[in-house]
Amino acid sequence: MTDAAAAVELRGIDKHFGPVHANRSVSLRLRRGTIHGLIGENGAGKSTLANILYGALLPDAGEIRIGDRPVAFRSPRDAMAAGIGMVHQHFMLVETMTVLENLMLGQERGLGLGAGEAAARATLASFARSHDAKLDPDAVVETLPVGLKQRVEILKALHRGAEVLILDEPTAVLTPIEVQALFEELRTLARAGKTILLVTHKLKEVMDVTDAVTVMRQGAVVAERETKRTTPAELAELMIGRAPQPPARSPVTAGVPVLEVEAMTLVDPDGVKRVDGVSFRVRAGEIVGIAGVAGNGQSELIEALVGLRPLRTGTIRIGGTDATSLSVAARRRLGLGHVAEDRLRLGAIAAFSAAENALLGRQDDAACSRRGLLRRATVRSTLEGWMRAYDIRPPDPHRRLALFSGGNQQKLVVAREVERRPSALVAGQPTRGVDVGAAELIHARLLALRAQDAAILLISADLDEIRLLSDRILVMCGGGIAGEVAPEAVDERGLNLLMAGAEAA
């Protein structure tokens, strides 16, 4: 790497959480005006290191240097005063306030608020000029799409004087178009002299936008590379300690229809039609993938299938039984499993322990309770087995879910649903927020469930995942099914054309 001036440097950072050694003498040097990737498996210590740099956690040992001087951060306020800002994976915005009010929070500059408002409007105007993108100051944050909410978070940090910007898994909930818009913003900021630390596990994105990359494994730095001098394959092997082995998909031997949808139409509370006359079948022993640009009805389809959204018209059958009017619990008793698209909104409860989350939706199962009393020892033993089988770190059933990394939270949710051995599984974005090794494991578990004659409906924004796992691919566009293709008969370009409403060449 070139010996450019360092904007910030971490030396020998060490951090323990009880018996967990999260950071092991980590050193990291960020060159001014560059985008630096920090990658590693879920639980490798990336977010811990980022939070230490931001002052949200105190290191047990080591130092942080800005320029040539050591600094000691006792809080995020100290880090912000030193020019370090952070955009968290889960946004820290007040949803009921406007864009302008969120920028002003903590920057009011007097009781009259006039000076604070003028400064915030100036920041918004400057952003609009430099990025050719206007953001309405008076828009209420909860009405904004995810990509714009993230832009507000970035602006908050810049408004507070950030010269070093940390982004923790910033693309986890973005559409491909929003990802490209974010990366163009980051490139513009770097050209203006800002320094970006991009904490991620997505290798394509690392190759696309970073200048350099540091790889962590089990709390320690194992490699540093200039991005242009490495490859996704090398980075993947460095992350997990071996070459990835994508699971092979055996020939399909599909049986009888298990999950059936006929003429489904959904209308949202504003009267907008979100799903329009959709019909399909998923048979025992097959995986049917649904591809589509976000916002074309996939999320509403999932919610209707699992019982969270009523149909305007149409029928849903599970195992031959009409489930159209049945509750979520009744559908689960028919054998339906559900990996939620948003694990912390619909799939798990952050404040609950891992063991309590493992019980969700299973509390009435004979294996988990008897005569209304929980079989706690059995639940704990079962979860410990899942933690070993799915490599959930740390393997502590009593640990609060919020304290696990996002990828380990996702593995717990997948384990809970897959290990029920459902006859039908609706899997929404099953590898969202997980690293390459965890994605490989989840793919293998889904294929093993398929081999046990489960019918799996896979909804994913990852086209590589759709093509790798699916026996048939349905493409959604405008709330309807735009076409059905075999995975071996279409490439990513062809899928993108269908997703855009055009025919593949």
pLDDT tens for 49-62 read: 999 999 999 999 99
Tens digit of pLDDT for each residue in 143-152?
888 888 888 9
The band of 336, judged by pLDDT with boundaries at 50, 70 and 90, is: very high
With 60 as the cut, is the pLDDT of residue 181 above it? yes
Q: At what angle do helices 176-191 and 114-131 cross, to 10 degrees?
A: 100
Beta strands in 239-340 (DSSP E): 257-267, 273-283, 286-291, 313-318, 321-322, 336-339
Sheet with strand 336-339: strands edge to edge: 336-339, 424-428, 455-459, 286-291, 472-477, 480-485
Return the H-helix or E-strand segment holding 24: strand 20-31
Task: Return the SS3 of 46.
Answer: helix
Comparing CA positions, the residue from 472, 476, 483 lying closest to residue 289 is 472
Q: Give the tokens for residue 247.
A: 């699971």
Please give the backbone phi and psi of residue 214, each rounded to the nearest 5 degrees, phi first.
Answer: -115, 135
Provide the pLDDT confidence category of residue 497 given band limits of 50, 70 and 90: confident
| E strand intervals along 311-439 | 313-318, 321-322, 336-339, 369-370, 373-374, 424-428
Q: What are phi and psi of 29, to 5 degrees?
A: -125, 120
Those residues whose C-beta lies under 8 Å from the C-beta of residue 370, and which sit 6 or more positions away, are: none
Residues 63, 399: Cα–Cα separation, whole Å: 29
Q: What is the maximal distance between C-alpha atoms in the chain?
A: 71
Interval 217-267: pLDDT, tens: 999 999 999 999 999 999 999 999 988 887 777 887 889 999 999 999 999
Contact assessment for residue 142 and residue 169, using Cβ atoms and an 8 Å cutoff? no
Rg (CA), the chain: 24
Which parts of 74-164 fold into alpha helices (H)?
76-81, 99-104, 114-131, 146-159
For residues 451 and 473, give the distance between their C-alpha atoms in angstroms, rounded to a whole number: 18
Residue 130 banded pLDDT, cuts 50, 70, 90: low
Residue 489 — pLDDT band, cuts 50, 70, 90?
A: confident
What does the pLDDT look like over 302-318, one tens digit per residue? 999 999 999 999 999 99
Is the separation of the CB atoms in 201 and 435 below 8 Å? yes
Q: Distance between CA atoms of 268 and 479, rounded to whole angstroms?
A: 12
Residue 127, pLDDT above cutoff 80: no
Q: What is the pLDDT of residue 111?
A: 67
pLDDT at 396: 92
d(CA 167, CA 88): 6
- What span, in angstroms and rounded, lies between the C-alpha atoms of 431 and 445? 12
CA distance to 269, 300, 445, per residue, from 264 (Å): 17, 11, 30
pLDDT digits (tens, 9 = 90+) for 13-24: 999 998 889 999
CA–CA distance, 415 with 383 (Å, rounded to integer): 9
CA pair distance 367, 363, nearest whole angstrom:
9
Q: How many angstroms separate the first and last alpha carbons of the chain?
A: 43
* Beta strands at 313-318 and 257-267: parallel, antiparallel or unpaired: antiparallel
Q: For the whole model, what pTM was predicted?
A: 0.81
For 172, phi then psi, to 5°, come to -60, -35
Question: How many angstroms separate the CA atoms of 482 and 484, rounded?
Answer: 7
CB 165 within 8 A of CB 156: no
> All domains of the chain, ordered by start, with CATH?
6-239 (3.40.50.300), 257-499 (3.40.50.300)
Q: How many helices (H) and strands (E) does the chain have?
A: 16, 22
% of the chain beyond a pLDDT of 70: 97
CB 378 within 8 A of CB 367: yes
pLDDT at 65: 96
Residues 6+ apart with CB under 8 A from 358: 379, 382, 383, 386, 397, 412, 415, 416
More confident residue, 49 or 371: 49
